[in-house]
Structure 1
Amino acid sequence: MVFYRSAGEIPRKRHTRFTGADGALLHEEMQGEEGFSWTQSFLYHRKAPTVITSAASVELPDEGLVDNIPLLPRHLRTRDLKPGGDPVLDRRVLLGNGQVRVSSVSADRDGVLYRNASGDELVFVEGGSGVLESAYGTLAVSSGDYVVIPTSTTHRWLLDGPELRLLVIAAADGGHIRPPKRFLSPIGQFLDGSPYNERDLRAPAEPLPDRSGEAEVFVRHRGGMTRYTYAHHPFDVVGWDGYNYPYALSIRDYTPSTGALHLPPPTYITFEGPGFVICSFVPRMFDYHPDAVKVPYNHANVDSDEVLFYYEGDFMSRSGSGIGQGSMSLHPAGYIHGPQPGSAEKSRDAVRTEEYAVMLDTFRPLRLGAAATEIEDHDYAWSWARGEGIHVDA
């Protein structure tokens, strides 16, 4: 993360003797990025966080990733995925490459203890509400929240209701997801004029009450997944401080930009990772030039694949395509795409848009997961032709 926080009890100096109320030595754990050379947090445990009593490999389902051949735009109806399951173990991979994985789950039960040791996770809460418990404390989340979970943060998802729908963008190969550098000063403060800042970010404020006894933790790593049994619960933390911790940002707190003429998608960048960026489209005033065309112009992704997840609202430029809430579109590099036929004319008298959407742009081609083939709308690629009344042999 980009700024310092502290919660609970910590010693005045790092790496010094620190005891609890009973006089027993507390155990310092450093969670750091890029070896010892980047941001760090320090957690203080009642018991040693290193004591494992068993370890077992966990067989992961085949993601079934295949190349997007023939090269086509794709429309995935994520709400057609089979609901239920664990918020982590029952995620279904939709898209992926060597730098990022996109998955979805509609969980109906509390999750296992888990940490992803292969990269940061950005979780968008599409529906429901719940609590993210971690070694840092509790973080209440609800529909519309982005939740950033740093690499190797032990956590679990707890549901507040019958369902928690999550869209997960997970960095791979040790990647980290951060606010764009252009929003930040050289020492990490959000600049005035950035679309969100420190006041919009929520993080755990206090450590959890002491947890004792054994605990199973599922660890995702670059070689697969391992289930450890720990002699001491990982949430037995009395305090922590530093720059790495889970935090949340509501998409509703993202401040949009407007212009006389249409602004390109990078205007709405929200987070960045190695080989990808994430943008937020939120309600905003339309372009105010008297001759402005208020829907996106046709464009070709020369260097990137473009994914758009339609969260909420009225998606005017996609009218007639079959796109709706819960839809995910993929427009790959090499394919020219744009608004649906007739939408530019319909937008002429509109003054604002009321849509919410999350966009992922990747700079390496995305492959299609097995789950994607289960929920694909195979008519989507031909929707522009059919919108003009052109017959398609497909």
Structure 2
Amino acid sequence: PGGNWLTGRRYIMGNADVNLALCAPTEAMGENVFFKNATHDELIYVHDGEGRLETVLGTVEFVKGDYVHIPRTLTHRWVFTGDVQPRLLVIEAPTEFRPPKRYRNQFGQLLEHSPYCERDFRPPTELHTIDQKGEFVVKIKKHGKLHPFVYRYHPFDVVGWDGYMYPYAISIHDFEPITGRIHQPPPVHQMFEAHNFVVCSFVPRLFDYHPDSIPAPYNHSNIDSDEVLYYAEGDFMSRKGIARGSFTLHPGGIPHGPHPGTTEASIGAKETHELAVMVDTFRPLKLTKDALRIEDEDYQLSWQPERHNHPMPDAAPVPPDIAGDGAVPDASPADAAR
């Protein structure tokens, strides 16, 4: 935790299509200080905290569990209320966030099989027109730099607006899960799509209900995507040692799946109460120095059965040219971390 809504952001990973950051601000921004992202839409998952998003188009109230979407170029500021330390997942994209195409008809309306509906989106409710003269700083983010613009009049000096580009909030709890008799593929969790990546919501739901089903997901390698999971609430059934607020990255092509013992333990389970946000990117992600500083270096070894007191029948011997600690010879720090 530290800093304000802008200075407190810690970028963890990203590529040309998306940037992911964590933010736990402890300071308020100045009363006459505002922000505008000139190049990226922002989708913020509110893990903890509550308050209001004040914009030139009106106010959007938000609470824990909300996604808050802010279109690029929109002047705004965040105001946190209450006593809970805010904790936020920030997703930035140079393209728009939108409901997946398969949930919409040719006119853009959400179809009946969509896991949420138009009523779940909460647009600005009140337009506060502020006719005030003074010094008002709008920090404009452009190509990774903040450019301060000083205005003579309050930026919320607006009496009305019309159009389709406006901020909104929608709760992760409004996402109705899609379940089945056998294991459902990850796209059933999809909540938003953007250029070259998707955002998914894992929410409380029934497990597979075929008599012979095994609720734990199968081991797999992603062919076309890097897989990022932000663990919000509950116990993630296929993982051990994952805490609230954990962040995992499984690069495309690297096998992964349930930890040893969790597949057997899942048999007979009826439901889960987990909450998590998943971002799948269709181009490789690159880590930041901040990510390397908080990396759990043992995570890559957490699938070793002996770490879970799990038997290893017919275990293949480890080739002699592979280091016992999982390190890759001559790899860069970023490659080794990933």
TM-score, length basis structure 1: 0.76
Moved over 6 A (4+): 389-392
1:364 maps to which of 276, 280, 283: 283
Alignment partners' CA distance in 1, 2:144 and 2:190? 31
SS in 2 for 1:124: strand
Structure number with greater CO (CA < 8 Å, separation at least 6) is: 1
Q: Of the candidates 7, 16, 24, which is equivalent to residue 106 of structure 1?
A: 24
Correspondence for 2:124: 204
**1:296/1:123 Cα in 2 relative to 1: closer, same or farther (>3 Å)?**
same
Question: Identity of counterpart residues, as a percentage?
Answer: 51
What CA distance in whole angstroms lies between the structure 1 residues aligned with 2:243 and 2:131?
A: 43
The answer to whether the aligner puts 1:164 opposite 2:86 as a matched pair is yes
Q: Deviations over 1:64-115 (max 9, x none)?
A: xxxxxxxxxxxxxxxxxxx121112320100111111000110122234111
| Structure 2 Cα separation of the partners of residues 375 and 256 of structure 1 | 32
Match of 1:336 in 2: 255
Superposed, 1:343-382 pairs within 5 Å as: 343-382=262-301
Aligned partners of 2:106, 2:158: CA distance in 1, in Å? 32
What's the counterpart of residue 40 of structure 2? 119
Matches within 5 A, 1:7-22: none
Q: Structure 2: which 5+ residue stretches go unaligned?
A: 313-317, 326-338
Following the alignment from structure 1 to structure 2, what is the Cα–Cα distance between the partners of residues 139 and 389? 53
- Post-superposition offset of 1:222: 2.5
For the 8 Å contact 1:86–1:109, the answer to whether it is kept is yes
Aligned CA-pair RMSD = 1.5
Deviations along 1:367-388, whole A, 9 cap, x unmatched? 1111111211111000001334
Question: What is the match of residue 112 of structure 2?
Answer: 192
Residues 1:223 and 1:280: Cα distance change in structure 2 (over 3 Å): closer
Q: In 2, distance between residues paired with 1:314 and 1:224? A: 39
Residue 242 (1) aligns with residue 163 (2): yes
Quickly say closer, same or farther: Cα 1:223–1:316, change in 2 above 3 A.
Answer: closer
Q: In structure 1, the residue corresponding to 2:161 is in which secondary structure?
A: strand
Q: Secondary structure at the match of 2:247?
A: strand
C-alpha separation between the residues in 1 aligned to 2:246 and 2:114?
A: 29
The answer to whether 1:227 aligns with 2:148 is yes
Offset of residue 211 of structure 1: 4.3
Structure 1 residues 110, 284: CA separation in 2 closer, same or farther (over 3 Å shift)? same
Give unpaired runs (5+ residues) of structure 1: 1-82
Match for 1:382: what amino acid? L
Describe the SS at the equivalent of 2:114.
coil
Instruction: State yes or no: 1:314 paired with 2:232.
Output: no
Offset from partner CA, 1:6-37 (integer Å, 9 cap, x none): xxxxxxxxxxxxxxxxxxxxxxxxxxxxxxxx
Describe the superposition over 1:290-329 as per-residue Cα deviations: whole angstroms up to 9, x where unpaired: 111101111101111000000001212102xx21110011
Q: Does 2:76 align with 1:155?
A: yes
Change in Cα spacing, 1:292 to 1:354, as seen in structure 2 (3 Å) is same
Deviation digits for residues 218-271 of structure 1 (CA, Å, limit 9, x no counterpart): 111136221111122211111112111110110011000010100011111100
CA distance in 2 between partners of 1:107 and 1:89 (Å): 8
Q: 2:12 aligns with which of 76, 94, 108?
A: 94
Residue 126 of structure 2 aligns with an amino acid whose one-letter code is E
